[in-house]
């Protein structure tokens, strides 16, 4: 299990994180075509649609999307 930061734009506020057991190649297999399609002027995407595409492609894997983390202050 690991946390992966997904960055698909130049805007840091649009980044999100995945808690997953997918490899970099598995993630790229799904995300890259989605990003390329929007850049070529086709269908737009958002973070949720990327997460949904990953969960549809890999239904037996752990793929949790996070945009924030809890903070503990001591």
pLDDT tens sequence across 37-52: 999 999 899 999 999 9
Residue 39 gets the label, from left (phi > 0), alpha (psi -120 to 50) or beta, of: alpha
Q: What pLDDT does residue 49 have?
A: 96
pTM: 0.89
Would you place residue 69 in the very low, low, confident or very high pLDDT band (cuts 50, 70, 90)?
confident
């Amino acid at each position: 299990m690991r946390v992966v930061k997904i960055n698909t734009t130049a805007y840091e506020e649009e980044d999100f994180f995945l808690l997953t057991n997918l490899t970099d190649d598995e993630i790229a297999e799904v995300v890259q075509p989605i990003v390329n399609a929007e850049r070529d002027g086709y269908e737009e995407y958002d973070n949720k649609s990327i997460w949904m595409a990953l969960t549809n492609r890999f239904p037996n894997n752990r793929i949790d999307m996070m945009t924030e983390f809890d903070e503990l202050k001591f």
